[in-house]
Amino acid sequence: MDLDDIASRLGVPVAEVERVHQLAGDRPSAPLPAKADAPAILERLAVRADDAAEIMAGWPDPGSALWTPELSWLLDRSIALVRGDLGGHAWLAPGPELPRDRGPAWRHLYVYGYLALLDVVTGYHRDHGIPDAVTWTTLADLGRNLAVDRRMNREGWPVMQAWLTLHARGGLYELGRLQHQRSDDGSLGLHIPESGPMTPAAIDASLAEARAFFPRHFPDERYTSFSCGSWLLDPQLREYLPADSNIVRFQQRFELEPYEKDDGPDADVEVLRFGFRTLTTPLDRLPRDSVLQRAIIDHLRAGRHWHWRQGQFPI
């Protein structure tokens, strides 16, 4: 197919279609699970009933009128792109951001790609001796992210579609309270899913599990530190939060790198994404139900900015 024509029909820049074409090349794709098996798989992936119904409604059945040639091409080549980096652990965009208001096939194209890669990534896990419980807990982040995206009125997905390629390539593992991302620089990246309080005991247990997990399942990789990049590490939070709060106690584990303004995403945006699950609601209409929410709002309304900070501590 002509790449300019594909881009035009998809309504995306041609450079993004060219990127998919170049990265995927003629690498093999992977088939989706049987449609009859999909409801049970979606349930195992913690996908809510409303999201599952949309996914099933847009299923890429052969000959489906929902699946135009350009959509089918993008799904096939996106799967090949992600599969070609199996074992990779850097962020990877699986394809261009699509106009998601054009129906379930458009809205969930990258979800179908994720489902097609399940056999590939679970095989990778088995080859590394990873327990099924860890595999499916990790992969069930799909359902969590779809639910968050729905709460965000579809504002969250462009970030999430790249985030979830970590799971689909074996680059990240959920161990207790934290998710742990492999790297090439000797550090395990820490991520904090929306799954309950960040109590010191829960954090300690997750770190202890990771210390045993990675030498056992990836013995050729050597990690010497835990690292994190987040607005949650911004020391300005200590102006608002109690000294014994879970967030402050989490911060105290890290030695912070010097602040660089352009290092990482815009923290003023990220506090809204994670603190309120919105990117567009005016500050005076945001809820003030917690100390953290009040801190975020008051700081921004005072004309101040939040900072994305990087830190680490020894394993």
User: How far is Cα 38 from Cα 262, in angstroms, rounded to an integer?
Assistant: 42
User: Residue 286 has what pLDDT?
Assistant: 96
Q: Which two tokens stand for residue 88?
A: 């990779």
Residue 75 dihedral angles phi and psi, to the nearest 5°: -60, -50
Q: Mean pLDDT, 10 residues at a time, over the chain (315 residues)? A: 94 98 97 98 98 97 95 98 97 95 95 98 98 98 95 84 97 98 97 94 98 98 98 97 97 96 90 93 95 97 97 98
Instruction: Count CA atoms closer than 13 A to 54's CA, side-chain side.
Output: 19
User: Residue 69 has what pLDDT?
Assistant: 96
Global pTM value: 0.95
Q: Which two tokens stand for residue 221?
A: 């990789």
User: Residue 159 has what pLDDT?
Assistant: 86
Burial class of residue 40 in the structure, from the number of CB atoms within 10 Å of its CB (0-12 exposed, 13-18 middle, 19+ buried): exposed
User: Residue 158 has what pLDDT?
Assistant: 80
Number of H helices, E strands in the chain: 15, 6
Q: Are 308 and 229 in contact (CB under 8 A)?
A: yes
Give me the amino acid identity at 301.
Answer: R
SS3 of residue 181 by DSSP: strand
Instruction: Tell me which residue of 298, 216, 314 sits closest to 306, measured CA to CA.
Output: 298
User: How far is Cα 150 from Cα 145, in angstroms, rounded to an integer?
Assistant: 9
